[in-house]
Structure 1
Amino acid sequence: MRGIVVGVNGSVESDEALDWAMPEAASRQVPLTAVYVTRDGAASDEAQGDHDLVTDMLDRSRARTGSAAEATVHLASGPAADALLAAADDADMLVLGRRRRGRLGRRVLGSVSTTVAEHARMPVTVVRHGDPADPEDGTITRDDAPRPAERPKRVVVGVDTSEPSIAALRHAAEVAVRRDAELEAVFAWQITTLAPLPGSWGWAPPIDDYERFAREALDAAVRKAGVTFPVDRLVRTVAHGQAAKVLVASAGAADRLVVGARGLGGFDRLLLGSVSRQVLDYSPCPVTVVRG
């Protein structure tokens, strides 16, 4: 199915995802499909009840958002992540809510949204607003300051030298143009050092050289992505620090954070994590993960 596909289950988080997806579909002028994963072996009368339930969710979301997007219901069965990925196989985007889970639950148990984002071929947007009550260990920090009532729209995108980040930059630019928003391209760089060997001299280039290299790399990525923006609407930010930490801080007052997925697999993904996974856990605004 084409257009925007959104997973719903009647929770507060899925309502947030649906309310985000409705105006997104209207803005793109594409249809929206609400996917509800049913119980395996459900009887026909139960399936009709599920269909009516999702229809009511759509009606209530239209009332909340004022959106007139064309929307339909799709019932699927099976494991939730597999069912959602199958239903959205040809979609322009898959949208999900994010459960407000503690750090241990996120890391050990994972979640449907994380699993889908790691395996999807299409862009995936996870709608999760900052919740100061979430327990954290301080590894990643968030900007939980209240947002001004009126502020310019802003899209933040993480950029490095990889192809997935170029795809993310193109996607973010399209969103910023369509939403008449400011685009901030963020390039995070970090120096890691080892102690010099005994009897040797340790040397590293001046810090300004690293920053100059990072700015040149960011400029090259913008050119490669073919992004052309008015000077006053394209912000190029170079920051020293761990990438996920820098992006989460930059997203504090943003409408959307876009990142590329490098596609680590298996044990590496579980052991090392990734920038995309960390920003999914901690970003205070919706995150779109784009596969390169």
Structure 2
Amino acid sequence: MSGQVVVGVDGSPSSLDAVQTAAGEARLRGRGLRVVYAFLWPAMHPPSGPSPLGPVGGELRAGVERVMAEAVQRARTAAPGVATANAVIAGEPRAVLESQSRTAELIVVGNRGLGGFAGLLLGSTAVHLAAHGHCPVMVVRGRKDATGDILLGADGSRAGRPAVDFAFAEASLRGTPLIAFHAWNPRTERALSGPADPRALVCAEERLRDEATRQLAEALSGKQEQYPDVPVHRRLVKAGPRPALIEASGSAQLLVVGARGRGGFPGMLLGSVSQALRRHAQWPVTVVR
């Protein structure tokens, strides 16, 4: 994919942080940046004229222009050499950004917005884009200083392969090591098998550990040859994937996960693990379908 990096804004501090992050991502990729304000008329005050930004005394237009000017300035300060364009698009934010994702290389949004209609841009829209977008979606949250490794939540599933590709490419762009993280939980098999001899439980855990090792190796197969510049550290953890990844994210600069993996139910486009990470991870999270 060779499109721009697109960032959604609404004037909230979270969205301006997202602009700064998006500018850095565009610079890393050698791409342009497109700052998008998705404009939706308040339901109780529909426009009386043909223009989507008027004729409500110019106040609405002036407010949007202030937001856009501040966002563009933030982008140019963060990445002076990046070509930055902007667009105000009338429409429901989720639909607007989903449409933008068709030609984008990456969509970046903040973790929370202003509330009401504006909040849709950076709240529920992050979930919607992760489930329905046509490119990776980065949700900016937590601390802003880009230190630490790239943390990849790898489960060895076919659905998780694009996330593996993205994580390696991102680590190569940033010149940082990659931590390939796989969590396995012996409680699942215990619950299914019921009370058992302690020796049987030990054997079951060993079997699960071996399977987790195989799944992680399968997920990384061929990638170290493709990205010889990326040091890879494999980490197997005996724990539930959600709390384990949230805790591990504290020492990473970016967390990358798939939209759904082995634990997803049919029809669930966004897995419970990626949803939990989007809400609670300590660093930016990129969800890759």
Q: TM-score with structure 2 length normalisation?
A: 0.79
CA distance in 2, matches of 1:206, 1:267: 30
Q: Which residue of 2 aligns with 1:143?
A: none
CA distance in 2, matches of 1:85, 1:26: 23
Q: Which residue of 1 aligns with 2:180?
A: 185
CA distance in 2, matches of 1:259, 1:84: 20
Question: Structure 1, residues 224-264: CA drift from partner, whole Å, max 9, x if none?
Answer: 55655569821000111111211111111111000011286
Q: CA deviation at 1:53?
A: 3.7
| Counterpart mapping for 1:103-252 below 5 A | 111-129=124-142, 153-191=148-186, 192=188, 193-194=190-191, 203-204=200-201, 205-223=203-221, 225=223, 228=226, 233-252=231-250
Q: Cα 1:227–1:277, aligned 2, differ >3 Å: closer, same or farther?
A: farther
Instruction: Read off the aligned partner of 1:12 and give its amino acid letter.
Output: P
Q: Which residue of 2 aligns with 1:77?
A: 90
| Counterpart check, 1:276 vs 2:287 | no
% of aligned pairs identical?
28
Check whether the contact 1:23–1:67 (CA below 8 A) recurs between aligned residues. Answer: no
Q: TM-score with structure 1 length normalisation?
A: 0.78
Q: CA deviation at 1:15?
A: 0.7
Structure 1 runs of 4+ off > 4 angstroms? 44-49, 195-198, 224-232, 263-270
Check whether the contact 2:101–2:134 (CA below 8 A) recurs between aligned residues. Answer: no
CA distance in 1, matches of 2:158, 2:224: 13
- Taking only aligned residues, the RMSD between alpha carbons, in angstroms, comes to 3.2
CA distance in 2, matches of 1:289, 1:246: 17
Task: Specify which of 238, 253, 256 is matched with residue 255 of structure 1.
Answer: 253
Structure 1: tracts of 5 or more residues without a match: 102-109, 131-146
Check whether the contact 2:171–2:230 (CA below 8 A) recurs between aligned residues. Answer: no
* Matched residues, number: 262
Question: Structure 1, residues 69-113: CA drift from partner, whole Å, max 9, x if none?
Answer: 111011112221111111232100100000189xxxxxxxx6222
Q: CA deviation at 1:170?
A: 1.1
CA distance in 1, matches of 2:230, 2:269: 38
Check whether the contact 1:173–1:227 (CA below 8 A) recurs between aligned residues. Answer: no
Check whether the contact 2:16–2:74 (CA below 8 A) recurs between aligned residues. Answer: no
Q: Which residue of 2 aligns with 1:27?
A: 28
Q: CA deviation at 1:128?
A: 0.8
CA distance in 1, matches of 2:207, 2:39: 56
Check whether the contact 1:152–1:181 (CA below 8 A) recurs between aligned residues. Answer: no
| Counterpart check, 1:59 vs 2:73 | yes
